[in-house]
Amino acid sequence: MPTIQQLLKQACEDHGGVSFRNDYSGRGMYGKTCVGIAGDNGDIYSVIAQVIKDSKDSDDFESVVDTLLVQGNEDSMGMGTIIYWMSLDPIEEENIHIELHDAELED
């Protein structure tokens, strides 16, 4: 199964109204980066719902739900919002395409 980060990235690409951030550093993170998604609240939660739905048959389902719904933090970004997860490390850029492509082949 793809990682939560990969699922979030793919869901953002599929949705179109939400941008995937692979380098977000929120309040109190002191320069450490993590994964986040930015956009309007309704669109962000549609992406989160899609990732949860896509994970429903996974052995890690409860962990996915806990991570996305309990561990997230939110910051206001002008007219939008970002939800970020300090527990989700950024995806290594060179592996993003390869891992997503491999995950698509498994389906």
The confidence score (pLDDT) of residue 107 equals 52
Cβ(4)–Cβ(19) under 8 Å? no
Q: How confident is the model at residue 106 (pLDDT cuts 50, 70, 90)?
A: low
Burial class (CB in 10 A: 0-12, 13-18, 19+), 30: exposed
Question: Where are the extended beta strands (E) located within 1-107?
Answer: 19-24, 34-39, 73-77, 80-85
Of 12 and 100, more confident: 12
The confidence score (pLDDT) of residue 100 equals 52
The confidence score (pLDDT) of residue 102 equals 53
38-58 pLDDT, tens digit per residue, is 999 899 999 999 999 999 999
Q: How many CB atoms lie within 10 A of CB 59?
A: 8
The confidence score (pLDDT) of residue 92 equals 83
- Check the CA dihedral 38-74-49-23 and report its sign: positive
61-96 pLDDT, tens digit per residue, is 999 999 999 999 999 988 899 999 999 999 986 554
Domain boundaries, the chain: 4-106
Of 106 and 50, more confident: 50
Q: Considering the entire predicted model, what is its pTM?
A: 0.81
